[in-house]
Structure 1
Amino acid sequence: MVKEQISVFDMFKIGIGPSSSHTLGPWRAAQRFVESLRTRNVLDKVTGVNILLYGSLAKTGVGHGTDIAVLLGLSGCDPVTFDVDQVTPRVQHIKDSGQLMLSGNYKIDFSYSQDLMFLYQQSLPFHPNGMSLQAFLADGTAVSETYFSIGGGFVVQENDTESVLSEVDLPFPVDTAQELMVWCMRTGLKISELVLENELVWRKEEQTKAGIMEIFKVLCECIYKGCHTPGVLPGGLNVERRASKINNRLLKGRSYHDFDSWLEAIRAGGNDFNYILDWVSCFALSVNEENASFGRVVTAPTNGASGVIPAVLQYYITFHNAYQEEKIIQFITAASEIGSIFKKGATISAAMGGCQAEIGVSSAMAAAALTECLGGSQRQALMAAEIAMEHHLGLTCDPIGGLVQVPCIERNTMGAVKAITAAQLALGSNPDKARVSLDAVVSTMWETAQDMNVKYKETADGGLAIKVPLSLPEC
Structure 2
Amino acid sequence: MSHSMFDLFKVGVGPSSSHTVGPMLACARFSQFAIQALSLDAIHRVSVDLYGSLALTGKGHATDVACVMGLMGEMPATIESDDIETMTKMVKNGGELPFAGSHYVPFSWDADLVFHYDQVLPAHPNGMTVSVYDKKDKCLARKTYFSVGGGFVVEEGETDALASDFAPPYPFKSAAELLEQCDKTGMTISELMFTNEIAQAQYTDPSATRDTVNQGLDHIWQVMRECIDRGIQQGGVLPGGLNIKRRAKGMYDAIHDKQAHGLPTDSNDWVNLFAMAVNEENAAGGRVVTAPTNGAAGVIPAVLAYYDKFVSPNNPEGIRTFLATSAAIGSLYKTNASISAAEVGCQGEIGVACSMAAAGLAAAMGGTNAQIENAAEIGMEHNLGLTCDPINGLVQVPCIERNTMGAVKAINATRLALGGDGEHHVSLDSVIKTMHETGLDMMSKYKETSQGGLATNVIPINVVAC
TM-score bracket for this pair, using the shorter chain length: over 0.9
Residue by residue over 1:328-357, the C-alpha shift from the partner in whole angstroms, topping out at 9 and shown as x without a partner, is 111111100000001111000000000000
Question: Relative to structure 2, which stretch is displaced further, 386-395 or 79-88?
Answer: 79-88
Deviation of 1:324 after TM superposition, in Å, equals 1.8
- Specify the alignment match of 1:425 in structure 2: 416
Report if aligned partners of 1:42, 1:137 keep a CA contact under 8 Å in 2. Answer: no
* Cα distance in structure 1, aligned partners of 2:10 and 2:301: 13
- Specify the alignment match of 1:473 in structure 2: none
Are residues 1:220 and 2:204 paired? no
- Specify the alignment match of 2:80 in structure 1: 83
Letter in 2 for 1:168: F
- Specify the alignment match of 2:447 in structure 1: 457
* Cα distance in structure 2, aligned partners of 1:98 and 1:199: 45
- Specify the alignment match of 1:346 in structure 2: 337
- Specify the alignment match of 2:2 in structure 1: 5
Letter in 1 for 2:247: R
* Cα distance in structure 2, aligned partners of 1:443 and 1:286: 32
Structure 1 unmatched runs, 5+: 256-267, 471-475
Deviation of 1:275 after TM superposition, in Å, equals 2.0
Alignment map for 1:218-257 (pairs within 5 Å): 218-252=223-257
- Specify the alignment match of 1:109 in structure 2: 106
Correspondent of 2:274 among 283, 300, 310: 283
- Specify the alignment match of 1:321 in structure 2: 312
Deviation of 1:236 after TM superposition, in Å, equals 0.5
Are residues 1:146 and 2:144 paired? yes
Report if aligned partners of 2:131, 2:139 keep a CA contact under 8 Å in 1. Answer: no
* Cα distance in structure 1, aligned partners of 2:165 and 2:359: 27
* Cα distance in structure 2, aligned partners of 1:229 and 1:46: 42
Letter in 2 for 1:130: G
* Cα distance in structure 2, aligned partners of 1:387 and 1:76: 42
- Specify the alignment match of 1:293 in structure 2: 284
Deviation of 1:252 after TM superposition, in Å, equals 2.5
TM-score, structure 1 normalization: 0.93
- Specify the alignment match of 2:174 in structure 1: 176
Question: Secondary structure of the equivalent of 2:333?
Answer: helix
Letter in 2 for 1:148: F
Report if aligned partners of 1:5, 1:167 keep a CA contact under 8 Å in 2. Answer: no
* Cα distance in structure 1, aligned partners of 2:313 and 2:172: 28
Deviation of 1:141 after TM superposition, in Å, equals 4.3
* Cα distance in structure 2, aligned partners of 1:413 and 1:383: 21
* Cα distance in structure 2, aligned partners of 1:20 and 1:461: 20
Report if aligned partners of 2:9, 2:220 keep a CA contact under 8 Å in 1. Answer: yes
Letter in 1 for 2:124: H
Report if aligned partners of 1:17, 1:303 keep a CA contact under 8 Å in 2. Answer: yes
* Cα distance in structure 1, aligned partners of 2:76 and 2:444: 29
Correspondent of 1:442 among 432, 445, 460: 432
Residue by residue over 1:375-414, the C-alpha shift from the partner in whole angstroms, topping out at 9 and shown as x without a partner, is 1100000000000100000000000000000000000000
- Specify the alignment match of 1:211 in structure 2: 216
* Cα distance in structure 2, aligned partners of 1:364 and 1:167: 29
Report if aligned partners of 1:280, 1:315 keep a CA contact under 8 Å in 2. Answer: yes
Question: Relative to structure 2, which stretch is displaced further, 399-408 or 34-43?
Answer: 34-43
Correspondent of 2:184 among 153, 170, 186: 186
* Cα distance in structure 2, aligned partners of 1:136 and 1:14: 32
* Cα distance in structure 2, aligned partners of 1:103 and 1:393: 42
When residues 254 and 92 of structure 1 are mapped into structure 2, their CA distance, relative to the original with a 3 A threshold, is farther
Deviation of 1:323 after TM superposition, in Å, equals 1.8
Report if aligned partners of 1:34, 1:43 keep a CA contact under 8 Å in 2. Answer: no
Letter in 2 for 1:296: R
- Specify the alignment match of 2:399 in structure 1: 408
Alignment map for 1:93-104 (pairs within 5 Å): 93-104=90-101
Residue by residue over 1:35-54, the C-alpha shift from the partner in whole angstroms, topping out at 9 and shown as x without a partner, is 11011032332100111000
* Cα distance in structure 2, aligned partners of 1:32 and 1:81: 14
* Cα distance in structure 2, aligned partners of 1:253 and 1:419: 26
Alignment map for 1:100-139 (pairs within 5 Å): 100-138=97-135
When residues 98 and 361 of structure 1 are mapped into structure 2, their CA distance, relative to the original with a 3 A threshold, is same
Letter in 2 for 1:392: N
Task: Tell me the percent identity.
Answer: 49
Question: Secondary structure of the equivalent of 1:200?
Answer: helix
When residues 301 and 426 of structure 1 are mapped into structure 2, their CA distance, relative to the original with a 3 A threshold, is same
* Cα distance in structure 2, aligned partners of 1:220 and 1:163: 28
Deviation of 1:162 after TM superposition, in Å, equals 5.0
Deviation of 1:103 after TM superposition, in Å, equals 1.4
- Specify the alignment match of 1:59 in structure 2: 56
When residues 435 and 27 of structure 1 are mapped into structure 2, their CA distance, relative to the original with a 3 A threshold, is same
Letter in 1 for 2:396: Q
Question: Secondary structure of the equivalent of 1:14?
Answer: strand
Say how many residue pairs are matched.
452
Residue by residue over 1:254-279, the C-alpha shift from the partner in whole angstroms, topping out at 9 and shown as x without a partner, is 89xxxxxxxxxxxx989x5x521111
* Cα distance in structure 2, aligned partners of 1:5 and 1:279: 35
TM-score, structure 2 normalization: 0.94
Are residues 1:16 and 2:8 paired? no
